[in-house]
Amino acid sequence: MLEKRSLTISGHATSLALEPEFWAVLDAAAREDGRSLASLVRMIDEARVETDPDQPLSSAARVWALRRVQAARP
């Protein structure tokens, strides 16, 4: 089941729907990195625009979360 959250990114409101497992990774990453969730999502969005502007933000967030978990593995 998707969980929808509203965020303000670069001055504009947006909403993002992800599975709770992905939100858990993003929330933990924001805490670990000492930043807000909105700041983290903005960073993901900026990277997405540079590399593949046609990719949906939700997809970019999922891929980012997956890579974060993979990078933490020994």
Residue 10 has pLDDT above 90, yes or no: no
Supply the range of the domain harboring residue 66: 20-72
Give how many domains the chain has, as a whole number.
1
Specify if 39 maps to a domain: yes
Q: Under a CB-based contact definition with an 8 Å cutoff, are residues 47 and 60 in contact?
A: yes
Specify if 1 maps to a domain: no
Specify if 10 maps to a domain: no
Specify if 51 maps to a domain: yes
Euclidean distance between the first and the last CA atom of the chain, given in angstroms as a whole number: 30
pLDDT of residue 39: 96
Mean pLDDT of the chain: 96
pLDDT of residue 74: 84
Number of H-type helices and E-type strands within the chain: 3, 2
Backbone angles phi, psi at 56, to 5 degrees: -65, 150
| Per-residue pLDDT reduced to its tens digit, 35-64 | 999 999 999 999 999 999 999 999 999 999
Specify if 57 maps to a domain: yes
Specify if 9 maps to a domain: no
| pLDDT tier for residue 69 given thresholds of 50, 70 and 90 | very high
